């Protein structure tokens, strides 16, 4: 494929034998210096598809040894992916002497400042942190040869459209641009039209599920309000009684929080995400394979390459935004003819995401109600009966005969059996008497095609500057009980314009406002990127001259405050606290 010996040596050491389809088609395009617009699902080998040719183009640059500014900029949506892509560039480019620096939120910015000042060839960054360094003047993009936007659809979903525009606008006009996305909505096409120059297009279609696969996987969607999701997960695990379960979460933060919650509820849970060392990862997998852990909570990135023989259940704690991710996730069970169960916990407003998945896989997903307390009690009786029957079949009961004979002298033998069964049942039954609300999966008004508001048309802004209820860009949030984000209603002069927070929400105070150039997208992007909240959980927002107010879920408010301590917004250190009114 025309790769240099140093890269080929690295591939040989890593055990690569032949390219994946996306690598086979993308590497020649990128090596030739052409712009690329590629569509391929997660797990298809995209990282090597852009890392290898961009490293080679950098290595062929005559002045590379005299430059301390980056020649390659890679922008990714999450810190987990930033770490993974950075590690891949390190492995591939070791023989070339490439200096690679990841920059993302949650990491001390001083360390990043030192690394950038020491000189760097490849920067792998999340959008918000890249903008912070750009505005500080610590990230200089004047000599960038190639820029890569990886998982572009996810970055737009997280509210980084303006940051991407700002980053791309700061790059040399003659640079090469590579845009990769799992899906290709109109927002991606719009981004490509504005920033790519006559790109080559590549689409790698994901294999659809076959009828044989479908017969082996029982798929179910349960509609659950977000605050009740951990309880619903526990209820379903109790009813299903799986041997081993893999739960997919969107972010590393969500993995850690859910891991703590599920262990607190008595489940043997383990977390797996990009912030863990290889030793920690191997220890987690050993526990799962040995049966000392029954629940594995992981991000998509961390779960790549896992093959667990004991796995019987997969749970989507959040509905994946890309249908291909759904197919990839549920394909973890039902392998080699074994039956498996795929469960998706959907919030009421995620109707559109479910419909997108159904359209992609060519079948409807059954939507059911979370089992009630009475259903759970009945299931626990069944499990107790099954446990007793299994012990009777196994035999080896003589060790307890003396105990039973002694009790039989005082009580009826049937009463002794009832007491033993009750004792076993009580030991296995956790307290769970809270009903989970039954809510419908319904279309949301935000699913309409987004149109610019009047102020957007007046100001010449694009419709991509506003979010709909699912966290995508859309027309307004008026049905949330608050003003529109980004429109003039949010640009208030002080407190009170928003009215009291909605039920279940808490208002936070941020020490930056219009005078610092803060926009609604800056707040949503920073909070979503640092805390793991999705865009739909954030808002309404009120931006005044010197401060901003933003509503977040009450049960996540302290986590948001803690997560934002090391963050900057528009180059200013963020001071976030609960609003005192």
561, pLDDT greater than 80: yes
Q: List for the chain the helix, strand, coil content (%; round to 5).
A: 45, 15, 40
**Is residue 49 packed enough to be buried (19+ CB in 10 Å), middle (13-18) or exposed (0-12)?**
buried
The CA–CA distances, whole Å, from 156 to 37, 52, 299, 447, 464 equal 16, 26, 19, 16, 9
* 171 has a pLDDT exceeding 90: yes
Across 95-114, average pLDDT:
89
Residue with tokens 């499990």: 383
Q: Which of 203, 226, 250 is the last residue of a domain?
A: 203
CA 513 to CA 519: how far, in whole Å?
8
Helix (H, G, I), strand (E, B) or coil at 35: coil
Contact present, 364 and 343 (Cβ < 8 Å): no
pLDDT of 82 > 80? The answer is yes
Euclidean distance between CA atoms 152 and 158, whole angstroms? 10
CA 471 to chain CA centroid, nearest Å: 13
Mean pLDDT for 158-172 is 91
Confidence of residue 52 (pLDDT cuts 50, 70, 90): very high
Q: Is residue 336 part of a domain?
A: yes
Question: What would the two tokens of residue 156 be?
Answer: 């737009």
Strands (E), 122-233: 122-125, 146-149, 176-181, 200-203, 217-223
3-state secondary structure of 149: strand
CA distance 221 to 344: 5
Do residues 38 and 203 touch, judged by C-beta distance below 8 A?
yes
Quote the CA–CA distance of 230 and 245 in Å, as a whole number.
Answer: 14
Residues 299 and 192 in one domain: no
Radius of gyration of the chain (CA): 26
Question: Can you tell me the distance from the alpha carbon of 342 to that of 361, in angstroms, rounded to the nearest whole number?
Answer: 14
Structure tokens at 307: 């093959």
**Cis link prior to 540 (omega < 30° from 0)?**
yes
Percent of the chain with pLDDT over 90: 30
Q: What is the pLDDT of residue 206?
A: 54
- End-to-end CA, the chain: 63
Residue 185, in any domain of the structure:
yes
Spatial neighbors of 152 by CB under 8 A, at least 6 apart, are 164, 179, 180, 181, 188, 191
From the list 193, 195, 174, the residue with the least C-alpha distance to 75 is 195
What CATH number did the domain enclosing 557 receive? 3.30.70.330
pLDDT digits (tens, 9 = 90+) for 401-436: 888 888 888 888 888 888 887 777 665 555 455 677
Other C-beta atoms closer than 10 Å to the C-beta of 117 total 10
Does residue 137 share a domain with residue 107?
yes
> If DSSP codes are grouped into helix, strand and coil, which group holds residue 100?
strand
Q: Which helix (H) or strand (E) holds 269?
A: strand 269-272
Query: Which is more confident, 210 or 486?
Result: 210
- pLDDT score, position 191: 92
pLDDT at 156: 86
| Mean pLDDT, residues 95-105 | 93
Instruction: Report the alpha-carbon distance of residue 139 to residue 475 in Å, rounded.
Output: 34
Confidence of residue 461 (pLDDT cuts 50, 70, 90): very low
- 50 contacts 44 by C-beta, under 8 angstroms: no
pLDDT at residue number 426: 66
Beta-sheet strands, E only, within 286-436: 295-299, 313-316, 340-346, 367-368
Pairing of strands 505-510, 548-553: antiparallel
pLDDT digits (tens, 9 = 90+) for 466-521: 233 333 333 233 223 333 333 323 333 344 456 788 888 899 999 888 888 888 87
Residue 164 and residue 289 share a domain? no
pLDDT of amino acid 469: 30
Q: Are 453 and 475 a contacting pair, CB within 8 Å?
A: yes
Sheet-wide strand order for 313-316: 269-272, 295-299, 245-249, 313-316, 340-346, 217-223, 367-368
Contact 220/368 with Cβ under 8 angstroms?
Answer: yes
Assign residue 67 the CATH number of its domain: 3.40.50.300
- Of 332, 354, 372, which residue constitutes the final position of a domain? 372
Judgement on whether residues 71 and 187 belong to the same structural domain of the protein:
yes
HEC readout, 394-433: HCCCHHHHHHHHHHHCCCCHHHHHHHHHHHHHHHHCCCCC
Residue 227 lies in domain = 211-372
CA-to-CA separations, 116 to 84, 124, 150, 539, in angstroms, rounded: 19, 12, 21, 34
Residue 573 phi, psi dihedral angles, 5° rounding: -60, 125
Encoded tokens for 389: 């029957």
Domain end (from 181, 203, 225): 203
Work out how many domains the chain is built from and give that number: 4
Query: In this structure, is residue 221 part of a structural domain?
Result: yes
Is 572 in a helix, a strand, or coil? strand
Average pLDDT over residues 74-89: 88
Please say whether the beta carbons of 202 and 326 come within 8 A: no
Statement to judge: residues 294 and 266 lie in one domain: yes
In angstroms, the CA 521 to CA 164 distance is 11
Round to whole Å and give the CA distance between 399 and 499: 69
Which tens digit of pLDDT belongs to each residue from 318-349?
998 777 778 878 877 866 556 789 999 998 87
- Residue 28: which pLDDT band, with cuts at 50, 70 and 90? very high
Q: Are residues 217 and 366 in the same domain?
A: yes
In a domain, 482, yes or no: yes
In a domain, 435, yes or no: no
> CA–CA separation, 415 vs 402, rounded Å?
17
Contact call for residues 109 and 566 (beta carbons, < 8 A) = yes
Residue 441 domain-assigned? Answer: no
In a shared domain, residues 390 and 511: no
Alpha carbons 168 and 162: distance in angstroms, whole number? 10
Is residue 209's pLDDT more than 50? no
Name the average pLDDT for the chain: 79
Using the structure block, give the residue that is written with the tokens 């069970």. Answer: 333
- Torsions phi, psi for 355 (to 5 deg): -65, -35
For residue 433, tell me if it sits in a domain: no
- Pair 392, 407 in one domain: yes
Q: How confident is the model at residue 445 (pLDDT cuts 50, 70, 90)?
A: very low
Q: Is residue 440 part of a domain?
A: no
Q: Which residues contact 475 (CB under 8 A, 6 or more apart)?
A: 446, 448, 450, 451, 452, 453, 463, 466, 468, 484
Same domain (yes/no): 464, 341: no
Q: Rounded mean pLDDT of 227-242?
A: 88
**pLDDT score for 433:** 53
pTM above 0.75, yes or no: no
Q: What is the dihedral of CA 309, 311, 317, 321, to 10 degrees?
A: 40
- 8 A C-beta contact, residue 70 and residue 130: no
- What is the average per-residue pLDDT within 264-289? 80
Mean pLDDT of 357-379: 82
Task: Give the tens place of pLDDT for each residue, 530-548.
Answer: 777 777 778 788 888 888 9
Whether residues 265 and 336 fall in one domain:
yes
Indicate if 339 and 417 belong to the same structural domain.
no
- Under the banding of pLDDT at 50, 70 and 90, the label for residue 366 is very high
Together in a domain, 20 and 87? yes
Rounded Cα distance, 347 and 370, in Å: 12
């Amino acid at each position: 494929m025309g790769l240099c010996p140093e890269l080929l040596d690295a591939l040989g050491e890593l055990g690569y034998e032949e390219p994946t389809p996306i690598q086979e088609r993308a590497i020649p395009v990128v090596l030739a210096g052409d712009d690329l617009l590629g569509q391929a699902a997660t797990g298809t080998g995209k990282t090597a598809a852009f890392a290898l040719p961009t490293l080679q183009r950098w290595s062929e640059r005559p002045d590379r040894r005299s430059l301390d500014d980056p020649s390659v900029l890679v922008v990714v949506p999450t810190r987990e992916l930033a770490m993974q892509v950075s590690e891949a560039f390190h492995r591939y480019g070791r023989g070339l002497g490439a200096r690679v620096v990841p920059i993302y939120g949650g990491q001390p910015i001083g360390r990043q400042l030192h690394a950038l000042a020491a000189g760097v060839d490849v920067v792998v960054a999340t959008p918000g942190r890249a903008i912070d360094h750009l505005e500080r003047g610590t990230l200089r993009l004047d000599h960038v040869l190639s820029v890569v936007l990886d998982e572009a659809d996810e970055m737009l979903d997280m509210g980084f459209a303006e940051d991407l525009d700002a980053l791309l606008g700061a790059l040399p006009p003659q640079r090469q641009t590579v845009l990769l996305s799992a899906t290709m909505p109109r927002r991606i096409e719009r981004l490509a039209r504005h920033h790519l120059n006559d790109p080559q297009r590549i689409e790698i279609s994901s294999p659809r599920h076959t009828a044989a696969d479908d017969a082996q996987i029982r798929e179910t969607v349960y509609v659950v309000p977000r605050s009740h999701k951990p309880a619903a997960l526990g209820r379903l695990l109790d009813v299903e009684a799986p041997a081993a379960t893999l739960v997919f979460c969107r972010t590393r933060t969500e993995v850690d929080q859910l891991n703590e919650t599920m262990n607190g509820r008595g489940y043997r849970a383990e977390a797996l995400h990009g912030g863990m060392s290889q030793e920690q990862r191997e220890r987690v997998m050993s526990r799962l394979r040995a049966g000392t852990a029954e629940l594995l909570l992981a991000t998509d990135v961390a779960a790549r390459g896992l093959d667990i023989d004991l796995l019987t259940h997969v749970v989507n704690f959040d509905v994946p935004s890309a249908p291909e991710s759904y197919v990839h996730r549920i394909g973890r069970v039902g392998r080699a003819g074994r039956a498996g169960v795929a469960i998706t916990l959907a919030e009421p407003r995620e109707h559109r995401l479910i419909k997108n998945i159904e359209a992609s896989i060519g079948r409807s997903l059954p939507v059911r109600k979370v089992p009630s307390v009475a259903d759970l009690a009945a299931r626990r009786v069944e499990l107790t009966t099954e446990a007793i029957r299994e012990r009777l079949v196994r035999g080896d009961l003589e060790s307890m005969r003396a105990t039973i004979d002694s009790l039989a002298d005082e009580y009826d033998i049937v009463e002794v059996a009832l007491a033993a069964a009750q004792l076993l049942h009580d030991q296995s039954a956790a307290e769970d008497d809270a009903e989970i609300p039954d809510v419908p999966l319904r279309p949301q008004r935000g699913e309409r095609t987004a149109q610019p508001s009047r102020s957007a048309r007046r100001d010449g802004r694009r419709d991509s500057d506003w979010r709909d209820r699912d966290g995508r860009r859309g027309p307004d949030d008026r049905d949330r009980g608050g003003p529109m984000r980004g429109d003039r209603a949010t640009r208030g002069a002080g407190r009170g314009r928003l009215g009291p927070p909605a039920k279940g929400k808490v208002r936070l105070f941020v020490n930056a406002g219009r005078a610092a150039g803060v926009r609604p997208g800056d707040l949503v992007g920073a909070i979503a990127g640092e805390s793991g909240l999705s865009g739909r959980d954030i808002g309404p927002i009120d931006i005044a001259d010197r401060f901003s107010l933003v509503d977040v879920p009450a049960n996540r408010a302290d986590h948001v405050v803690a997560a934002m301590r090391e963050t900057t917004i528009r180059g200013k250190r963020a001071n976030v606290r609960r609003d005192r009114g």
